[in-house]
């Protein structure tokens, strides 16, 4: 909704009095959230019927079966004024019964998410939760919600709030802790702070993810800008902290099929949350198949390796070049089933993409590797020392899973591959470069 949001996903459980902001890490929130958020497709034009119909589509289309198990409201669900006693009220026409909404979502097999703000108002001008944190948290719990997205608009003046960034958000963290103590209910807390550099203050306390670029738009230029931003901060990602690249625009705007594949692949493999932001009533089967690629989803949801893939070569530009049009093209990272490679063709025409295996820090020298293509779902033989992806489509992507498959053949010349060749030396001192 706004520029440079930060999302912190936290499990808020039962807290001790001495460490009220230290969440119990019980496994919830360890992996990126998958699901649906209504904002990008519908903005404020939402109601109970639309949300439930979207959930029905998610179940009918098999999206729930592959892991998209959250259905989250965004802004505009409330009345503009609180009750006489201060309670936030859902829109009496569009959301006449929040309990009915969450009951039906739960019956379908989904978690239910709601939205509020740390300031006086939400970004669309509805009541924020400042000075009503515990009251609102109890309301959200009584309505049956499991997930709270918490925004950063309408910030109180400094002489009113008298707190820093973390203090402002700890108000709701502590409120959710009280709710947990009183009711046993826990939330996934998605915090929108709009400045990812601030998120490190939260690292010791909760699992978190942070927005890294402008709001996404459904065109290639927006995707490359966000991928470019992600390329410089992949080291920040683990099971309890991740870069959030914003919602999935699969099926929106003018994105081609190949561009949509690149979009989904990059988001999934950097371990971003996968929240669908499209109108499922109009999505094509071709675009739906992208969202349901279970081999790609398995990397996103890897329970062993929470780290992002990272660039090992920029390609068109010298390494570490900041270029929002032509970001890094060659990426790799570990997974529980092998080393993952992502090759993105940022050119406007097809291109062959070559790399030496040992350019990736996750590959061992002297080993041959079996090659699995995670988009064609085919086993493509064995790679020895190097690999070339032929005719990668314009703005397209190739994703490979390489697994060790024994020692490379004996007698290969030169005896060293790639960058090691410049210092390739026998025991007697003979150089082979």
Domain contains 20: yes
**What is the C-alpha separation between 357 and 409, in angstroms, rounded?**
15
For residue 258, with 0-12 CB atoms within 10 Å meaning exposed, 13-18 middle and 19 or more buried, which class applies?
middle
Domain contains 433: no
Specify the number of domains making up the chain.
2
- Rounded to two decimals, the pTM is 0.90
**Whether residue 282 is found in the same domain as residue 399:** no
- CATH number of the domain enclosing 384: 2.60.40.1180
**Whether residue 11 is found in the same domain as residue 110:** yes
**Whether residue 282 is found in the same domain as residue 381:** no
Q: Are 190 and 27 in contact (CB under 8 A)?
A: no
Neighbours of 184 (CB within 10 A): 10
Letter string b/e over residues 87-103, b meaning 16 or more CB atoms within 10 A of that residue's CB: ebebbeebbeebeebbe
Low-confidence ranges of the chain (pLDDT < 50): 1-24, 196-207
Q: Are 390 and 352 in contact (CB under 8 A)?
A: yes
Length of the chain (residues): 433
Boundary residue ending a domain (255, 270, 300): 300
Boundary residue ending a domain (300, 333, 356): 300
**What is the C-alpha separation between 43 and 91, in angstroms, rounded?**
15
**Whether residue 194 is found in the same domain as residue 151:** yes
Domain contains 135: yes
Task: Cite the active site residues.
Answer: 151, 215
- Whole-number pLDDT of residue 28: 59
Question: Which helix (H) or strand (E) element contains residue 263?
Answer: helix 257-269
**Whether residue 267 is found in the same domain as residue 398:** no
**Whether residue 321 is found in the same domain as residue 289:** no
Domain contains 425: no
Q: Are 139 and 100 in contact (CB under 8 A)?
A: no
- CATH number of the domain enclosing 204: 3.20.20.70
Q: Which residues contact 206 (CB under 8 A, 6 or more apart)?
A: 8, 10, 11, 12, 21, 22, 23, 173, 189, 240
Domain contains 109: yes
- If you ran DSSP here, which 8-state letter would residue 253 be given? T
Pairing of strands 330-335, 338-344: antiparallel
Boundary residue ending a domain (278, 300, 322): 300
Torsion of CA 331, 334, 338, 339, to 10 degrees: 20
**What is the C-alpha separation between 389 and 398, in angstroms, rounded?**
7
**Whether residue 148 is found in the same domain as residue 176:** yes
Q: Following DSSP, what letter does each residue of 274-320 receive, concatenated? A: EEE-S-TTT--HHHHHHHT-HHHHHHHT-SS--PPPEEEE-SSSPTT
Kindly state the tokens that stand for 357.
């295996």
Domain contains 305: no
Domain that holds residue 230: 7-300
The SS3 of residue 134 is helix
282 beta partners: none
Phi/psi at 311 (5° precision): -70, 140
**Whether residue 280 is found in the same domain as residue 177:** yes
**Whether residue 323 is found in the same domain as residue 244:** no
Phi/psi at 217 (5° precision): -130, 150
The SS3 of residue 48 is helix
Domain contains 87: yes
Kindly state the tokens that stand for 23.
């969440």
**Whether residue 101 is found in the same domain as residue 190:** yes
What digits encode the pLDDT tens for the residues 135-194? 999 999 999 999 898 888 999 999 998 887 778 888 998 999 899 899 988 888 877 766
Kindly state the tokens that stand for 152.
């950063």
**What is the C-alpha separation between 179 and 176, in angstroms, rounded?**
5
- Whole-number pLDDT of residue 244: 85
**Whether residue 91 is found in the same domain as residue 184:** yes
Give the distance, in angstroms, between the CA of residue 32 and the centroid of all CA atoms in the same chain.
Answer: 6
Q: Which residues contact 224 (CB under 8 A, 6 or more apart)?
A: 324, 325, 326, 327, 346
**Whether residue 410 is found in the same domain as residue 279:** no
Domain contains 427: no
**What is the C-alpha separation between 96 and 168, in angstroms, rounded?**
31
**What is the C-alpha separation between 381 and 373, in angstroms, rounded?**
10
């Amino acid at each position: 909704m706004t520029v440079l949001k930060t999302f912190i996903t936290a499990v808020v459980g039962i807290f001790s009095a001495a460490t009220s902001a230290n969440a119990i890490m019980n496994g919830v929130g360890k992996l990126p959230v998958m699901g649906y958020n209504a904002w990008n497709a519908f903005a404020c034009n939402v109601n109970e019927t639309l949300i439930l119909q979207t959930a029905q589509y998610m179940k009918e289309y098999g999206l729930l079966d592959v892991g998209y198990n959250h259905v989250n409201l965004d802004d505009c669900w409330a009345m503009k004024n609180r009750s006489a006693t201060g309670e936030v009220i859902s829109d009496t026409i569009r959301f006449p019964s929040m309990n009915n909404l969450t009951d039906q979502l739960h019956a379908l097999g989904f978690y239910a998410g709601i939205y509020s703000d740390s300031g006086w108002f939400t970004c669309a001008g509805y009541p924020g939760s400042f000075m009503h944190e515990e009251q609102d948290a109890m309301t959200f719990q009584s309505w049956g919600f499991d997930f709270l997205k918490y925004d950063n608009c309408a910030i109180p003046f400094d002489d009113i709030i008298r707190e820093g960034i973390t203090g402002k958000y700890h108000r709701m963290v502590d409120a959710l802790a009280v709710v947990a103590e009183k009711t046993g209910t826990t939330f996934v807390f998605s915090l929108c702070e709009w400045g990812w550099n601030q998120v490190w203050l939260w690292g010791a306390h909760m699992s978190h993810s942070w927005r890294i670029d402008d709001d996404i738009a459904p065109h290639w230029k927006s995707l490359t800008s966000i991928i470019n931003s992600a390329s410089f901060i992949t080291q920040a990602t683990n099971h309890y902290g991740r870069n959030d690249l914003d919602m999935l625009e699969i099926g929106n705007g003018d994105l081609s099929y190949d561009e949509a594949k690149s979009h989904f692949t990059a988001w999934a493999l950097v371990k971003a949350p996968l929240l669908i932001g499209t109108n499922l009533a109009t999505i094509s089967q071709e675009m739906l198949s992208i969202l349901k690629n279970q081999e790609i989803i398995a990397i996103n949801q890897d329970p062993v390796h929470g780290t992002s893939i990272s660039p090992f070569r920029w390609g068109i530009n010298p390494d570490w070049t900041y270029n929002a049009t032509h970001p890094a093209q060659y990426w790799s990272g570990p997974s529980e089933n092998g080393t993952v490679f992502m090759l993105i063709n940022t050119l406007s025409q097809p291109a062959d993409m070559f790399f030496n295996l040992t350019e990736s820090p996750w590959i061992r020298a002297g080993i041959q590797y079996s090659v699995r293509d995670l988009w064609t779902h085919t086993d493509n033989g064995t790679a020895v020392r190097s690999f070339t992806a032929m005719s990668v489509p314009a703005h397209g992507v190739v994703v490979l899973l390489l697994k060790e498959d024994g020692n490379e053949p004996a007698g290969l010349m030169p005896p060293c591959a790639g960058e090691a060749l410049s210092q390739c030396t026998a025991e007697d001192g003979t150089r082979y470069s």
